[in-house]
Amino acid sequence: MMQTDVAIVGAGPVGLFAAFECGMLKLTSVLIDSLPETGGQCAALYPEKPIYDIPAHPSIDGADLVAALERQIAPFAVPRLLERRVERLEGTRGAFSLYTDRGDVVQARAVVIAAGAGAFGPNRPPLAGIEAFEQTGAVQYFVRRREALRGASVVIAGGGDSAVDWALALAGIAERIYLVHRREKFRAAPESLARLATARERGSVEFVVPYQLRGLHGEAGVLEAVEVATLEGESRRLKADTLLAFFGLSTDLGPIAHWGLHSAMHHIQVTPSTCETSCAGVFAIGDVATYPGKLKLILQGFSEAAMAAHAIHPIARPETALHFEYSTSKGVPALQ
Ligand code: FAD
């Protein structure tokens, strides 16, 4: 059982910054995330990709942005409950209880949902016995460190940006790269497609089109080959030790979808000026929130975090009037 002013569901970039904004208003918070590490999509999906539209950072990699946010919230020593999915929400404005799948109960005066696309998971190809290969890392859906694939023989499956970007990023690192797609055409930025065509000409990426994944061959989680087939049934075995499957993310909000909050197309509707949902005391920010003019950008999520924290202050501290102050006047607590 934990008690806090604000329970933040989701420790992606926006949830992390919400913890900072709460701290600046002297509100305590707890971060809860189903992933084993903080950073949401930035950490899990594109840690080594540069982001170009974070204000005052001409370019910053996903992992570096998360590390910077962690440094920014460090003075507030925000507790985290990681590898826990929030399942249930009970209570009313000023007195909520959140329940996780690991049996934790967090009591909070207000709730901030910064759940992005939900407790997200990759769309997994329906291949027999895939779990054993997932456990050993022979089948992966996110690349954490491209250096880990140095000298590997890699099958990349998918036809979108992720498949194309990783084929390019691993060229020159992996020993062999097969790019498997069910169509001849890839859906990616024109510049990436041009680079991919060059990589193909140079022989650093071999196109396997129009093929689909059909099976995995190997023992005890050690992958030896990936079987692919055309719609007509013509099959090939690609010798490989790693399969990177990029078939998108499931954008299921999971249990949050059943909390009775007004939603539209898997997103939670909020009042734009406060980010409060249809349930008083429950706020939604970042990718999960929607309102007219919403842009799914990290910078917009940061601004929503500030608005939500200010709107929460009267709920958590009804006895104290909130006087707006700049951070330059307030400063931050010294690190212990
Ligand atoms: P997320 O980062 O999705 O984090 C949400 C977290 O909530 C996750 O960690 C999830 O596990 C957790 N969660 C959800 N439900 C639960 C639950 N029930 N219990 C516990 N935890 C839960 N944006 C930009 O601004 N600029 C870019 O250049 C850019 N490039 C991108 C490139 C790629 C390849 C991708 C995929 C996205 C990119 N984005 C970019 C989008 C950006 O990453 C998102 O806007 C941002 O991550 C949203 O942050 P968030 O904190 O709202 O959600």
The finding on whether 85 has its CB within 6 A of some atom of ligand 1 is yes
pLDDT at position 251 is 63
The finding on whether 116 has its CB within 6 A of some atom of ligand 1 is yes
CA of 321 to the centre of ligand 1 (A): 33
* Phi, psi at 262, each rounded to 5°: -65, 135
For residues 290 and 261, what is the distance between their CA atoms, to the nearest angstrom? 12
User: Pick from 291, 303, 293: which is nearest to 20 by CA?
Assistant: 303
For helices 190-202 and 161-170, angle between their N-to-C axes, nearest 10 degrees: 40
* Phi, psi at 18, each rounded to 5°: -65, -35
The finding on whether 256 has its CB within 6 A of some atom of ligand 1 is yes
CA of 117 to the centre of ligand 1 (A): 7
Fold identical between 2-120+249-335 and 124-245? yes
Strand partners, 207: 179
The finding on whether 4 has its CB within 6 A of some atom of ligand 1 is no
The finding on whether 308 has its CB within 6 A of some atom of ligand 1 is no
The finding on whether 34 has its CB within 6 A of some atom of ligand 1 is yes
Exposed/middle/buried for 1, CB within 10 Å: 0-12, 13-18, 19+? exposed
pLDDT in tens, 282-294: 999 999 999 999 9
The finding on whether 301 has its CB within 6 A of some atom of ligand 1 is yes
For helices 13-24 and 298-316, angle between their N-to-C axes, nearest 10 degrees: 40
pLDDT in tens, 234-274: 999 999 999 999 998 776 688 999 999 999 888 999 999 99
For residues 111 and 195, what is the distance between their CA atoms, to the nearest angstrom? 45
pLDDT at position 249 is 75
Task: Give the SS3 label for residue 54.
Answer: strand
H/E stretch holding 26: none
- The residue whose C-alpha atom lies closest to atom 40 belonging to ligand 1 is 297
* Phi, psi at 106, each rounded to 5°: -115, 120
Percent of the chain's residues with pLDDT above 70: 98
DSSP 210-240: T-EEEEEEEETTEEEEEEEE-TT--EEEEE-
Contacts for 145 with CB less than 8 Å, ≥ 6 apart = 47, 48
User: Pick from 43, 15, 16, 34: which is nearest to 82 by CA?
Assistant: 34
CA of 194 to the centre of ligand 1 (A): 28
- Amino acid of residue 243: L
pLDDT at position 122 is 80
User: How far, in Å, are 57, 163, 185 from residue 54 at the CA level?
Assistant: 5, 24, 32
pLDDT at position 119 is 66
CA of 300 to the centre of ligand 1 (A): 12
CATH top class, domain 2-120+249-335: alpha beta
Rg of the chain, C-alpha, whole Å: 22
The CATH H-level superfamily of 124-245 is: FAD/NAD(P)-binding domain (3.50.50.60)
Q: Over the range 83-96, which residues count as b (16 or more CB within 10 Å of their CB) and which as e?
A: ebbbbebebeeeeb
Q: How many CB atoms lie within 10 A of CB 182?
A: 15
pLDDT in tens, 91-150: 999 999 999 999 999 999 999 999 998 766 788 999 999 999 999 999 998 887 889 999
User: How far, in Å, are 166, 187, 192, 239, 240 from residue 176 at the CA level?
Assistant: 13, 22, 19, 9, 8
Q: Specify whether the CB–CB gap between 127 and 213 falls below 8 A.
A: yes
Q: Average of pLDDT values for 306-316?
A: 98
Spell out the domain ranges in the chain. Answer: 2-120+249-335, 124-245
pLDDT at position 129 is 96
Q: Average of pLDDT values for 173-196?
A: 95
pLDDT in tens, 136-149: 999 998 887 889 99
